[in-house]
Amino acid sequence: MIIYTKEQLKRLLIPLMFEQVLTALMGSVDTIMVTNIGSAAISAVSLVDSLNILIINIFAAMATGGAIICAQYLGSNQKEKANQALKQLIFSITLISILITLPCILFRRPLLSLIFGSVEKNVMDNSLSYLFITALSYPFIALYNAGAASFRTSQNSRLPMAIAFGSNILNILGNIFFIFTLNLGVAGAALSTLLSRIISAAIILILLKQPKQDLYIDSYLSIRPEIETITKILKIGIPTGIENDYIKIVRV
Q: Is residue 6 part of a domain?
A: no
Q: In the chain, how many domains are there?
A: 1
Largest CA distance in the chain: 58
What pLDDT, on the 0 to 100 scale, is given for residue 244? Answer: 55
Q: Is residue 188 part of a domain?
A: yes
Q: Is residue 63 part of a domain?
A: yes
Q: How far from the centroid of its chain's Cα atoms is residue 107's Cα?
A: 21
What pLDDT, on the 0 to 100 scale, is given for residue 17? Answer: 63
Q: Is residue 80 part of a domain?
A: yes
What pLDDT, on the 0 to 100 scale, is given for residue 25? Answer: 65
Q: Is residue 252 part of a domain?
A: no
Q: Is residue 41 part of a domain?
A: yes
SS3 string, the chain, reads CCCCCHHHHHHHHHHHHHHHHHHHHHHHHHHHHCCCCCHHHHHHHHHHHHHHHHHHHHHHHHHHHHHHHHHHHHHCCCHHHHHHHHHHHHHHHHHHHHHHHHHHHHCHHHHHHHHHCCCCHHHHHHHHHHHHHHHCCHHHHHHHHHHHHHHHHCCCCHHHHHHHHHHHHHHHHHHHHHHHHCCCCHHHHHHHHHHHHHHHHHHHHHHCCCCCCCCCCCCHHHCCCCHHHHHHHHHHHHHHHHHHHHHHHHHC
The Cβ-side half-sphere exposure at 111, using a 13 Å CA radius, reads 18
Q: Is residue 7 part of a domain?
A: no
What pLDDT, on the 0 to 100 scale, is given for residue 64? Answer: 85
| pTM reported for the whole predicted model | 0.88
Q: Is residue 250 part of a domain?
A: no
Domain coverage including residue 162: 14-244
Residues of the chain with pLDDT under 70: 1-27, 240-252
